[in-house]
Chains A and B, each alone.
Chain A
């Protein structure tokens, strides 16, 4: 659903000749200054200031590496180029995990939201989807403030024309090594690693009706040098499409005939650090719901010949189709449309579900057939975008390219869609680019540890043929990887292994964790028979026919029971846990998932063991002397699994093939050891 039109234009704009560099740095936050040194040097350079770019730059800077963020316009940093919302089911998990690693988006959302709502509230805390409508302007302002005040981070307005490449370092795969970038004005900036987060800048095309033009200003060739270099280096590209709905003028809409959706009261913050969000519950804005009707369907059918975008064979997302494809695939149905505010003082409404590429005059007519939109005015018509992405199977799990050493990719360029998916990759690329410079081992989130791990493992092992979006159904260990415990899963690792987590956050997570453990112990120590419990807590229907003792932790699993009720009965030991609202909620969640989580642990161990068996990066699957069929070799070569765990997830690989691969690797390993011994 993310339109890439805007970010693609951004890249094109970098072609405007620039005579000097405007930079903003934390120490000169309010002033923009000129980069003085003729050939400056940084540890990490991040190209692109979108959602992946800012997380990458901030993460690298948190590691203490000198970081340069290059963007064509500082004013577009943190821009929400498509929908005015953050989070959702599965996506909310990603935001929480980015936050657990001390990323930015969760905190900025807590400062910029206008309508907070937890989705799936009735379906169990493992699948709650934190979501909020965000004020676009506020988000951008708050993000820029944050980025410009980050220590070790310099932000510069500059176009990037090309990469500086050198001979590859011995001992790791790759045909060359990146050592910096060449700017639009021909100057060189050197760096230890470079992260590309340039969205859809490769051959982006905008489509409205039968019109089609390059994303970017007419006549501009999108970032020629960089695109050509990537092509020359032999990166495999694929093509994707997506679309965006028309924007409507708020004043022209009759909301009185539509169903209202209220925000949560109290709103649930995204960040573990936020006690509450910035907006007062009662000041939150409303969202509205309306529907399509047969007239709309007929109009779309009558005008299919005027619609180039949906005729194309390029893959679009199945989960976020255009209105046209929804109507073609599921005819004679009413489809939902959500009207979402773009901000507190914005007069623009974003009609979620109405993405389309019909000619603009037909879009104008179509809108007026919808209830409540009879007089609606379109501010900007909907359009489709097609673009190239780089096959993410060319990356390692640290998001470093296998072809070019020290070059990292994150965000939409890897075939994903969504701010959250971009941010999740950005933070991992930023951390690893920093660790690479420091000569430390990469920081990999396993798919047993987080949605981030699932996202990156899916991308780098299986690739994608549609814009990849996070769903909870993609996650094997959904009971264990919950929004509530993202800090227990990632904050301590981030602190100890990557150094991307502040002391403050670490201390807070430690306190929470200690209290959780203490609380669980306290609950376990209170034990009675079912009969006694039924008497103590009459509101719950506790089964009395079990002879064994039940602990308070067992009782807490009951739907009707919460910490408050337990603390009413056992004030002394439990009061302090019940009083801390977040802690009480987390204890309840731990109790509910206690059993499945303990079952999943054994499975998680199994996957981790497989993941610990690493395969060499540069294995030539066609040449190796192992009993593998040609088909299996081809699959292994195109997926380039990094561990035996990843091999297991490639469709069509047999246990026998896995075994033969293991055997081969072990023999090679022993040979390598022997040779080392001789040396």
Chain B
């Protein structure tokens, strides 16, 4: 016998007596197989990204995400709006394809979403898929494995796929390693160790407490650990509006005294004249908005009316709108006239205070200081001005000239860095589908920890199962621990032996 292909129970099946089969229902009852999904186009930014699902819930996922009740014609592209099934927000517009099994790549029902390649869109759709029941992220090579199991993979197709999986897993490993350096890595490893220890203790308590000296105290330790973990995970996941920012764009507001060059900055960033600029103070009276893509991050940039004392009713209204915008901003670009400030560096603080909303003068508002009109400054003045900014503990300052373009590239770098800091994890660098993956596993891990709390006093075996599940989910990010390792830890920590 060479090998047995195709699905089915290992030794079960054919010779079962009919009656036995009926009675075996408990055991062999066909369970619904998970539906897997993954980004199947390459990683990184690209024009079009392809997300693929495979499994019995593919059709449902397609309907839910496109907000319709009719599947597209099989094997032909259809243009659809794609929504988040929970919030009904539109995520993107793209092509969807429907390949009903068995005539698909994997032999199962397959859906494909061809969407815009930005990280925000991709992670938004991955997150939406992950929130559906029976859907989970695919393991490396899992699509191929399913194709194999269903006898679908043709040898010419198979050539090279192994290398691809290798590259994928190698790449992921390297990426994971990269991420594992630094604070995020330390955080994950800390969670992983804490959870492993909790699991070890509960397993030891189940397997050995009756005969050995494992005290009940072990359990309260486990509970305390889980409680702390839950809290830390929750805080981590609720971190800011990152997810929303990615979907809706970061609200960046340009504010500052009149005639500092706010609108010029907007126009520079838009690379087209979106706002009217003139040397006259008070040119901009209402909020001017522009949606931009800066370094791959969606940005909604607002230019506001300059702030000054005035009796003009329209200008006053514009200024109050400006202040409102400033309050709601994710990031403030405070534009000041460098020439003016260089003469009286002492005014830097008071001017800035005039721009920032009163409640947030403690520095909670992320701000970049833009010192415009550098062309009017001499070398000595520049150094003095930047030095003053540093001494006064002001937000990061960029000296530039909207007129000559001097200093703009370095400002853009600082700006991008700030954006990535706000959208992605500060330690992760740019937001990526990897991060959506982290979020999914961490969310599910948190759910499992929640179940532990519920089951703890009902049935310890159930509670232990929740911890196993939580550990498995976290293991998707930090690496799994096997039974042997758990046993080794048990025998290290406890004196087991009758």
Contact flag A614-B155 (CB < 8 Å), given A127-B461, A473-B486, A513-B23: no
- A504 interface residue (CB < 8 Å to B): no
Summed over the interface, the residue pairs from A and B with CB atoms below 8 Å come to a total of 218
Contact flag A471-B16 (CB < 8 Å), given A336-B213, A442-B11, A663-B158: no
- Beta-carbon nearest neighbor of A668 in chain B: B2
- A596 interface residue (CB < 8 Å to B): yes
Binary interface encoding of chain A residues 492-503 relative to chain B, with 1 for a CB under 8 A from any of its CBs, else 0: 110111000000
B491 touches A129 (CB 8 A): no
A656 touches B169 (CB 8 A): yes
Measured in the bound complex, the distance between the Cα atoms of B2 and A129 in whole Å is: 40
Residue picked from B29, B170, B207, B498, most chain A C-beta under 10 Å:
B498
Measured in the bound complex, the distance between the Cα atoms of B16 and A443 in whole Å is: 12
Which of A326-334, A525-533, A573-581 makes up part of the contact surface?
A326-334
B497 touches A353 (CB 8 A): yes
Which of A52-60, A226-234, A274-282, A600-608 makes up part of the contact surface?
A600-608
User: Which of B169, B207, B209 is in CB contact (< 8 Å) with A473?
Assistant: B207
Binary interface encoding of chain B residues 136-159 relative to chain A, with 1 for a CB under 8 A from any of its CBs, else 0: 000111001100110001010010
CB of A513, distance to nearest CB on chain B (Å): 5
- A11 interface residue (CB < 8 Å to B): no
Contact flag A336-B465 (CB < 8 Å), given A616-B2, A659-B145: no
User: Which of A1, A510, A659 is in CB contact (< 8 Å) with B161?
Assistant: A659
B165 touches A656 (CB 8 A): yes
B11 touches A655 (CB 8 A): no
User: Which of B26, B162, B483 is in CB contact (< 8 Å) with A513?
Assistant: B26
Measured in the bound complex, the distance between the Cα atoms of B211 and A319 in whole Å is: 11
Contact flag A326-B495 (CB < 8 Å), given A89-B207, A449-B27, A471-B207: yes
CB of A172, distance to nearest CB on chain B (Å): 8
- Beta-carbon nearest neighbor of A506 in chain B: B20
Contact flag A660-B162 (CB < 8 Å), given A601-B31, A606-B33: yes
A496 touches B16 (CB 8 A): yes
User: Which of A88, A472, A493, A643 is in CB contact (< 8 Å) with B24?
Assistant: A493
- Beta-carbon nearest neighbor of A495 in chain B: B20
- A611 interface residue (CB < 8 Å to B): yes
- A474 interface residue (CB < 8 Å to B): yes
B141 touches A656 (CB 8 A): yes
B210 touches A596 (CB 8 A): no
- B174 interface residue (CB < 8 Å to A): no
Contact flag A612-B9 (CB < 8 Å), given A329-B495, A473-B203, A602-B34: yes
A335 touches B23 (CB 8 A): no
- A598 interface residue (CB < 8 Å to B): yes
Chain A 481-521 residues near chain B, CB threshold 8 A: 485, 488-489, 492-493, 495-497, 509-510, 513-514, 516-517
Contact flag A353-B461 (CB < 8 Å), given A333-B213, A441-B11, A611-B10: no
Contact flag A124-B31 (CB < 8 Å), given A319-B496, A474-B483, A613-B149: no
CB of A648, distance to nearest CB on chain B (Å): 10
- B17 interface residue (CB < 8 Å to A): yes
B461 touches A663 (CB 8 A): no
A666 touches B31 (CB 8 A): no
B20 touches A129 (CB 8 A): no
Contacts of B153 in A (CB 8 A): 666
CB of B311, distance to nearest CB on chain A (Å): 58
- Beta-carbon nearest neighbor of A172 in chain B: B1
- A559 interface residue (CB < 8 Å to B): yes
A598 touches B495 (CB 8 A): no
B169 touches A615 (CB 8 A): no
CB of A525, distance to nearest CB on chain B (Å): 18
Residue picked from B24, B161, B163, most chain A C-beta under 10 Å:
B24
- B460 interface residue (CB < 8 Å to A): yes
B465 touches A479 (CB 8 A): yes
- A478 interface residue (CB < 8 Å to B): yes
User: Which of A124, A492, A605 is in CB contact (< 8 Å) with B462?
Assistant: A124
- B15 interface residue (CB < 8 Å to A): yes
A124 touches B459 (CB 8 A): yes
Binary interface encoding of chain A residues 511-555 relative to chain B, with 1 for a CB under 8 A from any of its CBs, else 0: 001101100000000000000000000000000000000000000
Which of A115-123, A142-150, A155-163, A176-184 makes up part of the contact surface?
A115-123
User: Which of B6, B484, B497 is in CB contact (< 8 Å) with A326?
Assistant: B497
Contact flag A510-B497 (CB < 8 Å), given A119-B210, A333-B213, A473-B207: no
User: Which of B15, B24, B140 is in CB contact (< 8 Å) with A492?
Assistant: B24
Binary interface encoding of chain B residues 1-25 relative to chain A, with 1 for a CB under 8 A from any of its CBs, else 0: 1111111111110011101110111
Chain A 655-672 residues near chain B, CB threshold 8 A: 655-656, 658-660, 662-663, 665-670, 672
User: Which of A478, A513, A643 is in CB contact (< 8 Å) with B461?
Assistant: A478
- B206 interface residue (CB < 8 Å to A): yes
Measured in the bound complex, the distance between the Cα atoms of B461 and A473 in whole Å is: 10
Contacts of A667 in B (CB 8 A): 155
- B183 interface residue (CB < 8 Å to A): no
A559 touches B458 (CB 8 A): yes
A656 touches B162 (CB 8 A): yes
B155 touches A496 (CB 8 A): no
- Beta-carbon nearest neighbor of A659 in chain B: B162
B483 touches A654 (CB 8 A): no
Chain B 155-210 residues near chain A, CB threshold 8 A: 155, 158, 161-163, 165-166, 169-170, 203, 205-210
B210 touches A492 (CB 8 A): no
CB of B286, distance to nearest CB on chain A (Å): 48
A615 touches B3 (CB 8 A): yes
Contacts of B7 in A (CB 8 A): 609, 612
Contacts of B17 in A (CB 8 A): 495-496
A659 touches B10 (CB 8 A): no
Chain B 445-498 residues near chain A, CB threshold 8 A: 457-462, 464-465, 482-484, 486-487, 490-491, 495-498
- B87 interface residue (CB < 8 Å to A): no
Measured in the bound complex, the distance between the Cα atoms of B33 and A609 in whole Å is: 11
Contact flag A655-B165 (CB < 8 Å), given A335-B495, A449-B27, A479-B461: yes
User: Which of B140, B205, B465 is in CB contact (< 8 Å) with A596?
Assistant: B465
A472 touches B207 (CB 8 A): yes
Contact flag A489-B27 (CB < 8 Å), given A473-B207, A612-B7: yes
User: Which of A120, A334, A493, A509 is in CB contact (< 8 Å) with B12?
Assistant: A493
- B391 interface residue (CB < 8 Å to A): no
Measured in the bound complex, the distance between the Cα atoms of B148 and A658 in whole Å is: 12
Measured in the bound complex, the distance between the Cα atoms of B31 and A321 in whole Å is: 43
User: Which of B10, B486, B495, B498 is in CB contact (< 8 Å) with A444?
Assistant: B10
B206 touches A120 (CB 8 A): yes
B15 touches A446 (CB 8 A): no
Contact flag A608-B166 (CB < 8 Å), given A471-B487, A602-B31: no
Residue picked from A335, A615, A659, most chain B C-beta under 10 Å:
A659
CB of A652, distance to nearest CB on chain B (Å): 11
Contacts of A344 in B (CB 8 A): none
A614 touches B3 (CB 8 A): yes
Measured in the bound complex, the distance between the Cα atoms of B162 and A654 in whole Å is: 11
CB of A119, distance to nearest CB on chain B (Å): 4
- B248 interface residue (CB < 8 Å to A): no
Measured in the bound complex, the distance between the Cα atoms of B458 and A473 in whole Å is: 19
Contacts of A665 in B (CB 8 A): 2-3
- B32 interface residue (CB < 8 Å to A): yes
- A627 interface residue (CB < 8 Å to B): yes
Binary interface encoding of chain B residues 117-147 relative to chain A, with 1 for a CB under 8 A from any of its CBs, else 0: 0000000000000000010000111001100
- A34 interface residue (CB < 8 Å to B): no
A335 touches B498 (CB 8 A): no
Top 6 closest pairs, chain A to chain B, by CB: A601-B31, A124-B461, A124-B459, A656-B166, A123-B460, A126-B461
- What are 14 A-to-B residue pairs whose CB atoms are below 8 Å? A321-B497, A441-B11, A446-B10, A473-B206, A493-B20, A514-B23, A517-B26, A602-B31, A602-B33, A604-B31, A613-B4, A614-B2, A656-B169, A660-B162
Given contacts A124-B460, A608-B10, A663-B162, 16 further A-B contacts (CB under 8 A): A119-B211, A126-B459, A127-B461, A321-B497, A338-B498, A446-B9, A479-B461, A496-B16, A517-B25, A605-B33, A608-B9, A614-B4, A627-B163, A659-B144, A663-B155, A666-B148
